[in-house]
Amino acid sequence: MRALLSSIALTTLALASPLISHAEVKVDDAWVRATVPQQKSTGAFMRITSTEPTTLVAVRTNAAPVSEVHEMKMEDNVMKMRKVEPGVAIQPGKPLELKPGGYHVMLMDLPSAMTAGTHVPLTLVFKDAAGKESTVDVHAMVRALNAAAPAAMDHGKHKH
């Protein structure tokens, strides 16, 4: 009887496994724009892809007391920036570009300048369709104010 129950349990688990999926979130080209002394905010930029539908709902960092996902967009011939709530949806295989002039992360109330060549730790918080949260840790390179976006560099795959 015990062998039969074990066999049934293993078979059930094997059949259910394909139904359990975890999004693989990949972050590429993460960077932060350097600041000048006394500047209190800057932006963080990157490309995010996922194997499953997910939503970027928050970004945390110890480098800034306030970090928010924002969007810049033209409204009535005026460029406006706003906080995105509850987040930005990411479709499978379709990259979300966080870039100047579009979606981006605002780092605000900076306690000190962001110096080119240093790294900023960011924790990206995602929520899947079932409401389960997952995180991806990223180390974004601080780039000079006049620097263009970096060439494609892989910052590693992160599975969740």
Reading the chain (160 residues) residue by residue, the pLDDT tens digits are 555 444 544 444 444 434 445 579 999 999 999 999 999 999 999 999 999 999 999 999 999 999 999 999 988 999 999 999 999 999 999 999 999 999 999 999 999 999 999 999 999 999 999 999 999 999 999 999 887 655 544 444 444 4
> What six digits make up the tokens of 126?
């995602």
Residues whose CB is less than 8 angstroms from the CB of residue 45 and which lie 6 or more positions away in sequence, other chains included: 29, 30, 31, 32, 33, 98, 99, 100, 104, 105, 149
φ and ψ at residue 33, rounded to 5 degrees: -75, 130
* pTM score over 0.75: yes
Residue 41: Cβ within 10 Å count = 14
Handedness of CA 45, 124, 72, 131 (dihedral sign): positive
pLDDT at residue number 146 = 82
Closest CA to 30 of 159, 158, 154: 154
H/E element, 107 = strand 103-108
Residue 25: Cβ within 10 Å count = 22
Q: Domains in the chain, ordered, with CATH? A: 21-159 (2.60.40.1890)
Collapse the DSSP code of 54 into the 3-class scheme (helix H, G, I; strand E, B; otherwise coil) and give the result: strand
